Amino acid sequence: MASGTFGTAVNCMDGRVQSPVADWVKVNFGVQYVDMVTEAGPDGILAHGSAQLVEHIRQRVLVSTGPHGSRVVIVAGHSGCAGNAVPDEQHRADVRAAMSTAASWGLPVQIVGLFVNEFGAVEVIGRLDAPAQ
């Protein structure tokens, strides 16, 4: 059984965005730990990637929301991403679409979309409340 409180971040593997996202989640949700589910360009994967890659991410999110008890799932995109090499506005659109993908999993969590700019500043793209249980 997990000890402490957890949040979940589906985040890019790019080291520049790990700390800004983790710090934002800890401050805004009061959790002790942030489980990082990392891929290269996860916003693009969840927005328009293969079903196999989306399922791979979903399975790892389930570990965080199940045994670790996370009640928030962050989907993050960032400027200058090598894995999803698109303009910032497309990242924002991909984050919105990725949030819908995560919401389709029906988990009892709030879903928050974030965008991290080239200076490491975090912008909230949107929030989806947990489904009624």
Strands (E), 1-133: 6-12, 33-39, 72-78, 110-116, 122-128
Domain definitions of the chain by residue range? 6-128
- State the DSSP code for 30: -
Residue 42 burial (10 A CB sphere; 0-12, 13-18, 19+):
buried
Q: Which fold has domain 6-128?
A: Beta-carbonic Anhydrase; Chain A (3.40.1050)
Per-residue pLDDT tens digits of the chain, which is 133 residues long: 457 899 999 999 999 999 999 999 999 999 999 999 999 999 999 999 999 999 999 999 999 999 999 999 999 999 999 999 999 999 999 999 999 999 999 999 999 999 999 999 999 999 999 877 6
**Strand, coil or helix: what is 34?**
strand
Quote the tokens at residue 123: 């912008």
